[in-house]
Structure 1
Amino acid sequence: MLRNYLKIAFRNLWKNKTYASINILGLAVAFASALLLFLTAHFELSFDSFQENKDHIFKVYRKVIGPEKVELGPALPEPFLPSLRADFGAEIKHATRIKDGKAQIVMGDKTIDESVNYVDTDFLKMFSFKMLKGNRNTALNDLRSVVLNQTIAEKVFGNQDPIGKTLNLNLGGQTQGFVVAGVTEKSPDNSTIENAIMLRFESDPEYQGMKGRWEALYHEVYLQLADKVSSTDFEKRLKTFVAKYYAKDISQLKSEGAKPDERGEVISARLLPLLEEHFTEKIGKQAINKTYPIILLIICGFVLLIACINFINLSIARSLARAKEVGMRKALGALKAQVIGQFWGEALLICLVAFVLGCAVAALAMPQYNALFKSQLSFSYFKNPIVITALLLAFLVITLVAGGYPAWLVARFNTVEVLKGKVKSSSRSGGVRNALIVVQFSIASLLIIGTLVVWNQIQFMRAKPLGFNEAQVVSIPVNGEVAGERMLEMMRNKLANQPAILSLTGADNNLGRGKDGSGYKSVFGFLMNGKNYSTNGLNVDYDYVKTLDMKLLQGRDFSKAYPSDKQNGCIINETMAKQLGFKNPIGQQIPLDSNKTIVGVVADYHFESLKNKIESMTFFLQNDFGIHYIFVKVAPTNTVETMALLEKTVKEISPKSQFLGSFLDENTNNLYRREERIAKIFMSAATLAILLSCLGLFAISLMMMQQRTKEIGIRKVLGATVGSVVLLLSKDFLKLVFVALVIASPVAWYFAYRTEISWLVFAAAGALAVCIALLTVGFQAIKAALMNPVQSLKTE
């Protein structure tokens, strides 16, 4: 019996190659794309899950409630952690400060630019990066010790054992020797915490200048609580800690009208679980919205659902052609279960072939997928138990639902009627088919709207004016071989007579994310006229405002004609001026380390991501922190030659250095790299889902045209025009599309309300859905209408 079923299954699939191919192709593409989407979403959702202590590690962040705004941020002052450990003792099992920066490895005449992590001794005890060499409990005990990841260790020492060897690092313009005490595996791609060159926190060149300063925020803090300590209770008891060390600031904020939150705090320290950091913007490093991977999972489900609908509809449509076979089997004694087994077995065979083909396509397409969408998927993910379970579950559900329902429907045919050739598509099966088409195009309409929304958001990010010249300014990281101030001066002298170079300046921080990948944020607090203020701080050189084409609203730029600017001058942005409340801020003083006199006000500009509201900013003429980035404004023509000139100049000044210059528009685009990657995946997946809907509609329309061939012939003999026949054949499908649009509209309007997008998006989505249906069905309708009626009627 089984052998007979298999023979008939293969025979039917071979006989109906068109429909079998459509089913296998649709399911295989759906399986492949759904698998890649699932792996992408799983990658994002699995951030930091490999850490053994993940459930006990928390990032500390600050929450400050002012009279007009609430400020959240991860940056904390240097004394924060030592004071916290002193007050809470054994409740904190491990803790570390982390500050990321850049270092230059000096190897004779050669240098290598690498990332550096300034950390405390507990870093390797908290974070379970595999230790390949050395002891994680003691590797960072010595101030002159360094721990490297495997990639950097092999780059510097090759196959030699690096333990005990000296690594020369240029930090802040000074070359220092450190003894290698450990080697770890490189942090995986789904890790928030990166490990590169790990040095003691005290080795940071800025450490001495920040030591003991509660008002200066410049690093992050992570805690691992003791096993029996509740994070909720610990966070509540942080209120006492904050009240102890921030009493003056709390009192001042309350006097200014700041209203305490539900916990009665205006300044608080909060705990963010490590597993939530990747999804918490403003606090997490390169965080993304958790909605993005969830949307990918939803689209993954949509793709599989659309493929299922295609399979069910085609199976129902084909069941009419095999009605006599079913009647004959039942007349010869076949039970309903045996008929169901026959047809479900054929569905199982199609699903199995499609599943294997889909997995193979996903594996083969993975390198291209990674290259196209800047993803980090690997074949090792196929061994993940979650991935294997999801794959098998999807296969079983699709096989049971997509194969089971049509098989059950076929088994219910009346034996006598089908043998007489009187079987027709029941209203019930036709209703199911129409309902499924409506569901399919409702999903397609929503995906079209979503695609247009995402496209609009990307275009907005690209077109939004940032308040400075990003197209003509090159950012060049200073590698440390030559001090930044000296390098800037030498570049000015060498490029003074070059017509392609319009101006040069420098600063201690970059705009956007350059090729060195570095960046940090300095925030300073001060008390002025009885009120607390905070401002982002940026140390700049002369011509910063001019080079970046910033708009000067009041006052002047820094100038060598005013020697006092070097010690006492500052320039503030528009937001800072509004917060201070001065009608004319020029000449007013800000009490920071010393009184700083405001000499200018610049228009607000986006020095962070567009996702963040513009905050207060104060420029200081560079002094303590030096120059870490040089900005060069270049002529808009011959930019390739100009970039080559800049590289040559940097190499002449600093022969060992690596040139990492980039235009600011590249840097700012890097801020949205993750969002753009997810958006590209979303749009591609949505387009694929829409194409699968078209494939199913094409197959159903082809089937319907074949079933109505004789009807079309009769109508044409009786004088029907091609246009009327096309309209007749298309209108039923168009009705279903319009119903789908009506169903999708409430959800779409809710989505529109949440994102404030134009009604034109919905009009465009509706028009596009109708056009897709018309093109898909219209092709078959025109082909059927043009057929010679003699051919249609010759079998009568």
Structure 2
Amino acid sequence: MLRNYLKIAFRNLWKNKTYASINILGLAVAFASALLLFLTAHFELSFDSFQENKDHIFKVYRKVIGPEKVELGPALPEPFLPSLRADFGAEIKHATRIKDGKAQIVMGDKTIDESVNYVDTDFLKMFSFKMLKGNRNTALNDLRSVVLNQTIAEKVFGNQDPIGKTLNLNLGGQTQGFVVAGVTEKSPDNSTIENAIMLRFESDPEYQGMKGRWEALYHEVYLQLADKVSSTDFEKRLKTFVAKYYAKDISQLKSEGAKPDERGEVISARLLPLLEEHFTEKIGKQAINKTYPIILLIICGFVLLIACINFINLSIARSLARAKEVGMRKALGALKAQVIGQFWGEALLICLVAFVLGCAVAALAMPQYNALFKSQLSFSYFKNPIVITALLLAFLVITLVAGGYPAWLVARFNTVEVLKGKVKSSSRSGGVRNALIVVQFSIASLLIIGTLVVWNQIQFMRAKPLGFNEAQVVSIPVNGEVAGERMLEMMRNKLANQPAILSLTGADNNLGRGKDGSGYKSVFGFLMNGKNYSTNGLNVDYDYVKTLDMKLLQGRDFSKAYPSDKQNGCIINETMAKQLGFKNPIGQQIPLDSNKTIVGVVADYHFESLKNKIESMTFFLQNDFGIHYIFVKVAPTNTVETMALLEKTVKEISPKSQFLGSFLDENTNNLYRREERIAKIFMSAATLAILLSCLGLFAISLMMMQQRTKEIGIRKVLGATVGSVVLLLSKDFLKLVFVALVIASPVAWYLMDKWLADFAYRTEISWLVFAAAGALALTVGFQAIKAALMNPVQSLKTE
């Protein structure tokens, strides 16, 4: 019996190649796309799940409630963890400070730029990166010890055993030797914590300048609580710790009108579970909103749903053409279950072919997918039990639903009626078909509107003036072979007579995200005139305002004509001036580690993503942190030659350094990679949805055309033109597309308005977006119907 079913299934599919090809193509493309989207979502949702202690590790972050705003941040002062250990030692099993930085590995006349993690001795005990060599409990006990990941170890030492060998590192312009005490596996791509070169925290060049300073936010802190310690209870007990060390600040904030939260705190230390860090923006490293992978899963479901609807609609439409076959089988004694089995078997065969083809396409397309969407998928994900289970479950559901409903519908045909040729499409099956078409195009319209809104927001962010010169300024990271201040001075001397070089300056932090991928924030708190304030701090060199074309609102720029600028001068931005409340801030003093005199006020500029409101900023003149980036303003012409000149100059000064110069407009665009990625996924999904919907509409129109052949022939005899017949037959379908647009529009507006709410500076959702989406859906839908109907209508004889 089974053999007979398969033989008939193959015969029917071969006989109806157009129908089978459309179904297999649609399902295969849907399977491949859904699989890649599911893998991407699973990758994001699996962050840090490999850590053995994941349920006991927490990131400490601060919450400060001011009179006007609530501030959340992961950066903490240097004395925080030592004081916490002293007060809660028994409840903390392990703890580490972490500060990321850059270092140069010095290998004779060659250098390699790598990331460095400044950590405490508990780091390797907390985070379960596999230890390949060395002892995780003792590897970082010595201040001169270093632990490397396997990739770096092989890059430096090749096949030799690196344990006990010396690794020369350039840190902050000074080369130091460290003894390799351990080698770990490289952290996986779905790890919040990256292990590169691991050094003791005290090795950080900035450590001594930050030691003991409660007002300077400097690094991050992770805790692993003792096994029987409740994180909720521990967090509550942190209230006494904060009250002890921040008593003056708490009192001051309350006197300014800050209202305590539900726990009665204005300054608090909170715990963030490690598994939530990747989804907690402002706290996590390169964190994403958790709705992002959820959106991917929803789109994944949408794509499969559209393909299923195509399958169901085509199967229902084909059932009328096979009515006599069903009647004959039932007349010869076939049971309803056998008829269902026959038709469901054909559906299973189509789904199986499409499933295998879709998996193959997904595997072949993975490199291109990774390149297009900046993903990090690999073939190893196909071995993941969760992925395998999800694949089999999706296949089973699609086969049962998409194949089962049409088969059940066919089995219900009345034997006598179908043998007399009187069976017609019921109003019920026609209603199901129309409802499914509406669902298809509602999804397609929703994705089209989402694509247009995301794209408009990206264009808005790119076009918005940022308050500094992006197009003509090159940012060059200082790699450490030569100290930043010295390198800046030498570049000024070498480029002084070059007409393409307009000015140079330096700073301790970049604007946007450069090729080195590094960046951090320095935040300082101070008490002034009885009020608590905080400000972002930036260490700059002379001509910073000039080089970046910032607008000076009051006062002056730093100048060598004023020697006091070096020790006591500062420049603030407009927001900082408003917070301080001075009518004329010039000459006023800010009590930081020493009194700083305000010499100038610059207009607000966006030193962070447009997702964030502009915060207060204070420029210092080469304070404690040195110069880590050199900024060069260049002439607007011959930029390729100018970039080559800058690279040559850097190589002459620092032969071992890698040149990583980039224009600031590239850096700022890098801040919106995630949004661009979402836009690409939306655009691809919308394109796929509309194509799959139109593919189904094409096939249904073709079959409806075959069912109404006599009617069309009569109309042509009576003088109807081809165009009028096509319009008549497509009218009902286009109404369904319009209904779908009406349903999708309010849903899309609500969802995209919620998405835009994450941006401090955003575009507005225009009615033109919905008009464009509607025009696109209707036009493409009509063209699909027209393509299906035009040739058959033209070929009908009018005699």
Secondary structure of 1:782's aligned partner: helix
Alpha carbons 1:133, 1:183 under 8 Å: kept = yes
TM-superposition CA deviations, 1:14-51 (whole Å, max 9, x none):
00000100000000000000000000111111111111
The alpha-carbon deviation at position 786 of structure 1 amounts to 8.8
- Structure 1 stretch displaced more, 533-542 or 755-764: 755-764
Offset of residue 763 of structure 1: 2.0
Distance 1:338 1:332 in 2: 12
Q: CA deviation at 1:654?
A: 1.2
Cα distance in structure 2, aligned partners of 1:509 and 1:190: 27
Whether 2:563 is the aligned partner of 1:563: answer: yes
1:759 to partner: Cα distance = 2.2
Q: Is the 8 Å Cα contact of residues 119 and 201 (structure 2) preserved in structure 1? A: yes
Deviation at 1:623, TM superposition (A): 3.2
Preserved contact between residue 447 and residue 682 of structure 2 (Cα < 8 Å) = no
Q: Deviations over 1:483-529 (max 9, x none)?
A: 11111111101100000000000111111121222222111111100
CA contact (8 A) 2:698 2:785 kept: no
Q: 2:702–2:789: 8 Å Cα contact kept in structure 1? A: no
Contact kept, 8 Å, 2:57 with 2:225, in 1: the verdict is yes
- Aligned CA distance change for structure 1 residues 8 and 84 (closer, same or farther; 3 Å): same
| Alpha-carbon distance, 1:760 to partner | 2.0
Identify the match of residue 766 of structure 2 among 736, 740, 758: 758
- The SS at the match of 1:558 is coil
Change (3 A) 1:379 1:443: same
What is residue 713 of structure 1 aligned with on the other side?
713
Deviations 1:547-581 (A, max 9, x none): 01111111110001111111111000011000000
- Are the equivalent residues in 1 in contact too, given 2:441–2:737 (CA < 8 A)? yes
5+ residue gaps, structure 1? 769-773
Q: Measured at CA, do residues 517 and 778 of structure 1 come closer, stay the same or move farther in structure 2, by a change above 3 Å? A: closer
Question: Per-residue CA shift, 1:672-700, capped at 9, x if unaligned?
Answer: 22332233122212221121111111111
Shift in alpha-carbon separation, 1:135–1:699, aligned structure 2, 3 A: same
Q: Shift in Å at residue 218 of structure 1? A: 1.0
Q: Distance in 2 between matches of 1:205 and 1:418?
A: 87
Cα–Cα, structure 1 residues 195 and 501, in superposed 2: closer, same or farther, change >3 Å?
same
SS in 2 for 1:787: helix
**Cα gap change, 1:752/1:224 in structure 2, threshold over 3 Å: closer, same or farther?**
closer
SS at match of 1:279: coil
Contact 1:218 1:520 in 2 (8 A): no
Counterpart check, 1:233 vs 2:233: yes
**Contact 1:576–1:616 (CA under 8 A) maintained in structure 2:** yes
Deviations 1:159-179 (A, max 9, x none): 100000000111111111100
**Range 678-687 or range 492-501, more displaced:** 678-687
Q: Distance in 1 between matches of 2:360 and 2:238?
A: 53
Q: 1:730 to 1:262 in 2, by over 3 A?
A: same
Pairwise CA distance, 1:275: 1.0
Structure 1 stretch displaced more, 2-11 or 204-213: 2-11
Deviation at residue 306 of structure 1 after TM alignment? 0.3
Q: Distance in 1 between matches of 2:149 and 2:624?
A: 31
Query: Aligned equivalents of 2:787 and 2:174: distance in 1?
Result: 81
Q: CA deviation at 1:754?
A: 12
Q: Which shows bigger deviation, 275-284 or 78-87?
A: 275-284
Using the aligned pairs only, state the percent identity.
100
Rounded Cα–Cα distance in structure 2 between residues aligned with 1:524 and 1:476: 26
Distance 1:791 1:115 in 2: 68
The answer to whether the 8 Å contact 1:63/1:269 transfers is yes
- Where do residues 276-425 of structure 1 align in structure 2 (5 Å cutoff)? 276-425=276-425
SS at match of 2:51: coil
Aligned length: 791
- Alpha-carbon distance change, 510 to 446 in structure 1, aligned in 2, over 3 angstroms: same
8 Å CA contact retained: 1:55, 1:273: yes
> In 2, distance between residues paired with 1:728 and 1:790?
12
Native 8 Å contact 1:709 1:784 kept in 2: no
SS of alignment partner, residue 442 of structure 1: helix
Match of 1:781 in 2: 784
Distance in 2 (alpha carbons) for counterparts of 1:784 and 1:106: 66
Deviations 1:59-85 (A, max 9, x none): 111011111111111110000000001
| CA shift digits 1:347-405 (9 cap, x unpaired) | 00000000000001000111111111111100000011110111001000000000000
Greater Cα offset, 279-288 or 571-580: 279-288
Distance 1:795-1:503 versus aligned 2 partners, 3 A rule: closer
Please say if residues 725 and 785 of structure 1, whose CA atoms lie closer than 8 Å, have aligned partners that are also in contact.
no
CA distance in 1: counterparts of 2:45 and 2:81, whole angstroms: 29
Farther-moved stretch of structure 1 (587-596 vs 327-336) = 587-596
Deviation at 1:468, TM superposition (A): 0.9
Contact 2:722 2:790 in 1 (8 A): no
1:92, CA displacement in angstroms? 0.8
Measure the CA separation in 1 of the matches of 2:107 and 2:259.
Answer: 56
Question: Structure 1 residues 585 and 717 mapped into 2: Cα distance closer, same or farther (>3 Å)?
Answer: same
Contact kept, 8 Å, 1:119 with 1:201, in 2: the verdict is: yes
Query: Contact 1:327–1:418 (CA<8 Å) still a contact in 2?
Result: yes
Instruction: Tell me the CA shift for residue 103 of structure 1.
Output: 0.7
Question: 2-side partners of 1:363 and 1:143: how far apart?
Answer: 47
Q: State TM-score, norm by structure 2.
A: 0.96
Deviations 1:170-190 (A, max 9, x none): 111111110000001111111
Offset of residue 418 of structure 1 = 0.7
Q: 1:604, 1:381 → 2: CA distance? A: 46
Contact 2:714 2:798 in 1 (8 A): no
RMSD, aligned α-carbons: 2.1
Does the CA contact (< 8 Å) of 2:280 and 2:288 recur in 1?
Answer: yes
- Deviations for 1:291-317, whole angstroms, at most 9, x for unmatched residues? 111111000000000000000000000
Aligned 8 A contact 2:697 2:781 in 1? no
**CA spacing shift, 1:109–1:641, aligned 2, 3 Å:** same
Q: Structure 1's 567 and 257: CA in aligned 2 closer, same or farther, altered over 3 A?
A: same
* Structure 2 match to 1:671: 671
Distance 2:682 2:695 in 1: 20
Deviation at 1:469, TM superposition (A): 0.9
| Cα distance, 1:702 vs structure 2 | 1.1
SS of 2:138's partner is coil
Judged with a 3 Å threshold, the aligned counterparts in structure 2 of structure 1 residues 88 and 541 are, in CA distance, closer, same or farther, namely same
Query: CA-to-partner distance for each residue in 1:529-554, whole Å, 9 max, x for gaps?
Result: 01011111111000000001111111
Offset at 1:132? 0.7
| CA separation of 1:780 and 1:573: change in aligned 2, threshold 3 A | closer
Question: Separation in 1 of the partners of 2:617 and 2:67?
Answer: 19
Give the direction of change, closer, same or farther, for the CA distance of 1:529–1:310 in structure 2 (3 Å limit). Answer: same
Provide the C-alpha distance between the structure 2 equivalents of 1:719 and 1:58, rounded to a whole number of angstroms: 78
Shift of 1:785: 11
Cα distance change of structure 1 residues 494 and 609 upon mapping to structure 2, 3 Å threshold: same
Given the superposition, is the C-alpha separation of residues 93 and 502 from structure 1 closer, same or farther in structure 2, using an over 3 Å criterion?
same
Question: Residues 247 and 478 from structure 1, CA distance in 2 versus in 1: closer, same or farther, beyond 3 angstroms?
Answer: same
Matched, 1:160 2:168: no
Q: How does 1:716-795 map to 2 (within 5 A)?
A: 716-750=716-750, 756-768=764-776
Q: Distance in 2 between matches of 1:379 and 1:218?
A: 39
**Secondary structure in 2 aligned to 1:740?**
helix
How far off is 1:8 after superposition? Answer: 0.9
Asked if 1 retains the 8 angstrom alpha-carbon contact of 2:738 and 2:778, the reply is no
Superposed, 1:437-456 pairs within 5 Å as 437-456=437-456
DSSP-derived class of the 1:183 partner: strand
**How far apart are 1:88 and its partner, in Å?**
0.7
What are the superposed Cα offsets for residues 622-675 of structure 1, whole Å, 9 maximum, x if unpaired?
032211111100111111111111111111111121111111112122222233
CA contact (8 A) 2:76 2:220 kept: yes
Structure-1-length-normalised TM-score:
0.97
C-alpha displacement of 1:463: 1.5
Unaligned runs of 5+ in 2: 751-758
- Tell me the CA shift for residue 791 of structure 1: 9.0
Q: Is the 8 A contact 2:702 2:788 kept in 1?
A: no
| Deviation (angstroms), 1:140 | 0.3
SS at 2:519 equivalent? coil
Aligned-residue offset at 1:203: 0.4
* More displaced 10-residue stretch of structure 1: 170-179 or 663-672: 663-672
1:186-230, Cα deviation, whole Å (9 max, x unpaired):
111111111110000000011111000000001000111111111
**CA-to-aligned-CA distance 1:453-495 (integer Å, 9 cap, x gap):** 1111221222222111111111111112111111111110110
Give the conservation status (yes or no) of the 8 Å contact 1:256–1:531.
yes
Per mean C-alpha deviation after superposition, the further-off stretch among 132-141 and 651-660 is 651-660
